[in-house]
Amino acid sequence: MSGADIREFSRPMTGPALVPLIDAIEAGEKPVVAAIEGMALGGGLELALGCHYRIAHSKAQLGLPEVTLGLIPAAGGTQRLPRLIGFPAALDMIITGRRVSAGDALKLGIVDQVTERNAGEVAVAFARSVVDCPLVSRRLSTWPPLCPADLDNILQMALARAWQRGRGALAPVACVQAVQAARLPYSQGMQQEQKLMSMLFASPQARALQYCFFSQRAVGKWSMPNGACWDNSTARPIRKAAVIGLGTMGRGIAVCLVLAGIPVIAMETDEKQLEAARRVVMALLEKEVQKLAVGLHLGLIHFTLEQRYLREVDLVIEAVFEDLALKKQLFAELSSVCHPDTLLCTNTSQLDVDQLATATSRPDLVVGMHFFAPANKIKLLEVVFTSRSSPEAVATAMQLGKWLGKVSVAVANCPGFVGNRMLRPYVEQAGFLLEEGATPEQVDSALEHFGLAMGVFRMSDLSGLDVGWRVRKAAGLTGPGVPQGQLLQTQQGYRYSPLADLICQKGRLGQKTGCGWYLYEGPGGHMARPDPWVHAFLEEYRRVHGLQPRSIGQQEVLERCLFALINEGFRVLEDRIVMDPVALDVIYVLGYGWPAHTGGPMYYAGEVGLPRVLGRLEYYQRVHPDIPHLRPSALLRQLVAKGSPPIHKWMWHIEEGSSRL
């Protein structure tokens, strides 16, 4: 039982209500034993907490995930759980919404017994053994709260954690407030729980989070412009896979495959790289084995330098350097080494997958599988199909992503695919804001205050500034041979900020070199500190180029960066790179740290109001006519002209022939 039917939230609720039902079970004179198999989540766990005893199967999972939907557990969960397991453990489960295994539930004291056998049968036997025991002490609502001496301190720290984790989300904070009320007599605590729930239930944040929940499921129903879709395409089984290139990404991808139980051939170019990768991968796997407390066959992974092992694999994921010539050569080699039916996938983040496909003997079996760093943690996978990818290849990559525990989103091939394509105008605006007078920390703090996991400059320092530098060089925007314009730089006819290139030229590549847009404790450090050198560098740059710095407010930072990103999102829709705007929201929430409680960039645009987004873009475009990314997209204009329809109707308004596919 995984709690409420969320679809019911948008309709008038029908009875019977859960709270009186649970109270009646608890108050009853017959002992009630909850037999838990599978999931006991949300209302499911709250019901179990109202029973007098709980028996769980060893594979069962328990949790109160309401916070992830912008809500709190409101059928007594916030009042009974702290009474049962204490405030600190209850706060942790309720604020994070995390699930615990049956074994952990036993340790915490949530269940009375764990069994490997049929939980129902064990529960019946258990009931016989306790049938004569008095029930008085089994009714959790009558238990006095377990208040440790430092409870105030515990609650204060939980509140601070809720603010920090929530990045502006209300529900984690309300969770702490509700649990805090478990200090009061049960009936008063319940009143407080209901009050907080009513406030959240009607909130835009809860609606946005529920939209996220449904969106992440909706993207599984993928489709392609040629009519192929999830419903009419069959995935192939992947019995063995290979990962080629075991750098940052390849290592994480190999870990994902092994954790999913898929045998892996892991390949590198030389012994030294292979050894380094082996150490990291095995350490990551051993950590997972300890964490999950499950048996994992570490022999599933075979490290090698020899291509002959690739003959036996069903699918290859290539993660070598981001270099088109290198990748094309590798794909040509794979065509002759691998079985003709082997799927060839690339983890490229920017390169043209169509071009890679043409380098192979089987363009129909080539797709992009774009993972996000760290690949063993981030739940997103962009599956990039080309004009020649077969439905079967797409279905297989989508299915494999799911098997690896990712949310897979099918996207058509275009420069940067979806996520990185939308990111470009956003990063670009941030650079322009520095030229105009902002500092990296001003821009970042506005974005982080909005709820992004990391501001643009901290994110760039983390990824490495050389990544974008290489892309700009490849695009001919910087590097030898490109005229270094003067003053406000212009490249290829448009405004271009060379600030990031200048920073890279100084050897400041981000965290890895100990400095970038910020200063770190040393190479590989994580603590970003504002850097006086960067401030002086920006002042000098503005002086040399005759730029008068102005004070830039938080609102301008948000509008310039976020609306430019959203505007590109509308262009992605016009080009039919995806079939539905929910895909863009899923990609941003899961892959780019966009705050889930705003729904994602496109949903957020709808909430702000499309006329407002359009109006602000028009305003900024008048002020900066040399920035094409601020020019409102045709689709945005069209939608506003049609009275701003809701997000699920946007695709109806795309003009025929607008797609560049």
349 touches ligand NAI by CB under 6 A:
yes
Which distant-in-sequence residues (6+ apart) come within 8 Å of 516 by Cβ?
457, 460, 461, 465, 503, 508, 509, 510
Q: Phi and psi of 262, rounded to 5°?
A: -100, 125
Nearer to ligand NAI, 140 or 412 (CB): 412
Active-site residue 46, yes or no?
A: yes
126 vs 426, beta carbon nearer ligand NAI: 426
578 lies in the binding site for ligand NAI (CB under 6 A): no
Q: Which residue's CB is nearer to ligand NAI, number 247 or number 437?
A: 247
338 lies in the site for ligand NAI, by CB under 6 A: no
15-54 mask for ligand NAI (x: CB under 6 A)?
A: ----------------------------------------
User: How many Å apart are CA 33 and CA 126, to the nearest integer?
Assistant: 8
Identity of the residue, 147 or 373, whose beta carbon is nearer to ligand NAI in the bound complex: 373
Least separation, in Å, of the C-beta of 73 and ligand NAI? 37
Q: Is 316 in the site for ligand NAI (CB under 6 A)?
A: no
Least distance from ligand NAI to the Cβ atom of residue 368, Å: 10
What the block records as the tokens of 341 is: 């039916």
The span from the CA of 205 to the CA of 202, in Å, is 9
In the region spanning residues 224 to 253, those forming contacts with ligand NAI, defined by CB under 6 A, are: 244-250
Alpha helical stretches, state H, 343-439: 353-358, 391-403, 419-436
Residue 466 interacts with ligand NAI (CB under 6 A)? no
Residue 355 near ligand NAI by CB under 6 A: no
| Residue 463 in contact with ligand NAI, rule: CB under 6 A | yes
Pairing of strands 380-385, 366-371: antiparallel
* Residue 108 in the binding site for ligand NAI (CB under 6 A): no
310 is a contact residue toward ligand NAI (CB under 6 A) = no
First-to-last alpha carbon distance for the chain, in angstroms, is: 44
- Contact call for residue 352 and ligand NAI (CB under 6 A): no
| HEC sequence for 163-196 | HHHHCCCCHHHHHHHHHHHHHCCHHHHHHHHHHH
Give the shortest CB-425-to-ligand NAI separation in angstroms: 19
Give the Cα separation of 568 and 559 in Å (integer).
14
Which residue out of 26, 46, 435, 441 is catalytically annotated?
46
The pair of three-digit structure tokens given for residue 472, joined into one six-digit string: 């700009």
Answer yes or no whether residue 268 interacts with ligand NAI by CB under 6 A.
yes
Instruction: Report which of 198, 206, 172, 203 is spatially closest to residue 74, judged by C-alpha positions.
Output: 198
The runs of H, that is alpha helices, within 454-580 are 456-463, 465-474, 499-505, 532-544, 554-574
142 part of the interface to ligand NAI, by CB under 6 A? no
Q: Does 376 bind ligand NAI (CB under 6 A)?
A: no
242, 313 Cβ separation under 8 angstroms: yes
Instruction: By CB under 6 A, tell whether 274 contacts ligand NAI.
Output: no
Judged by CB under 6 A, the residue of 12, 321, 340, 551 near ligand NAI is: 321
Among 373, 454, 488, 634, binds ligand NAI (CB under 6 A): 373
Query: Of residues 26, 29, 66, 312, which has the active-site annotation?
Result: 66
Asked if 596 interacts with ligand NAI (CB under 6 A), we say no
CB of 307 to ligand NAI, least distance (A): 9
Q: How far is the CB of 476 from ligand NAI (least distance, A)?
A: 19
- How many angstroms separate the Cα of 334 from the Cα of each of 115, 329, 356? 49, 9, 12
Q: Of 36-44, 59-67, 343-351, 483-491, which segment contacts ligand NAI by CB under 6 A?
A: 343-351
Closer to ligand NAI by Cβ: residue 192 or 349: 349
Provide the 8-state DSSP code for 519: B
β-pair partners for 241:
264, 315
DSSP state of 515: B
Q: Of residues 267, 316, 407, 433, which one binds ligand NAI by CB under 6 A?
A: 267
Residue nearest to ligand NAI (CB): 247
Measured at the alpha carbon of residue 266, what is the angle toward residues 265 and 267, in degrees to the nearest 5? 115
Find the shortest distance in angstroms from Cβ 356 to ligand NAI: 10
Question: Nearer Cβ to ligand NAI, position 372 or 603?
Answer: 372
Nearer to ligand NAI by Cβ, of 268 and 314: the residue is 268
- C-alpha closest to that of 327 among 339, 335, 319, 315: 319
Query: Could you say which of 208, 262, 264, 320 contacts ligand NAI (CB under 6 A)?
Result: 320
Q: Which of 427, 424, 497 is nearest to 455 (CA)?
A: 427
In the complex with ligand NAI, which residue's Cβ is closer, 63 or 250? 250
Phi, psi (rounded to 5 degrees) for 98: -75, 155
Measured CA to CA, the distance from residue 140 to residue 50 in angstroms comes to 7
CB of 247 to ligand NAI, least distance (A): 2
CA distance 244 to 271: 14
Q: d(Cα 75, Cα 661) in Å, to the nearest integer?
A: 50
In the complex with ligand NAI, the residue whose CB is nearer, 77 or 245, is 245
Residue 399 touching ligand NAI (CB under 6 A)? no
Nearer to ligand NAI, 194 or 273 (CB): 273
What φ, ψ does residue 482 adopt, rounded to 5°?
A: -95, 125
Q: Is 304 an interacting residue with respect to ligand NAI (CB under 6 A)?
A: no
Q: Shortest gap between Cβ of 177 and ligand NAI (angstroms)?
A: 38
Q: Is 335 in the site for ligand NAI (CB under 6 A)?
A: no
Choice between 42 and 468, CB closer to ligand NAI: 468
Number of residues that bind ligand NAI (CB under 6 A): 23
Long-range contacts of 31-37 (CB under 8 A, 24+ apart): 31/127, 31/130, 31/131, 31/133, 31/135, 31/138, 33/123, 33/124, 33/126, 33/127, 33/130, 34/123, 35/119, 35/120, 35/122, 35/123, 36/60, 36/62, 36/102, 36/111, 36/119, 37/118, 37/119, 37/120
> Among 17, 47, 19, which Cα is nearest to 33's?
47
Residue 603 burial class via C-beta count within 10 angstroms: exposed 0-12, middle 13-18, buried 19 and up: buried
Task: Please indicate whether residue 441 is annotated as part of the active site.
Answer: no
71 near ligand NAI (CB under 6 A): no
Give the residue, chosen from 78, 79, 192, 347, that forms a contact with ligand NAI under the rule CB under 6 A: 347
Which residues are the active-site residues? 46, 66
Contacts with ligand NAI, residue ranges (CB under 6 A)? 244-250, 267-269, 273, 319-322, 330, 347-349, 371-373, 463
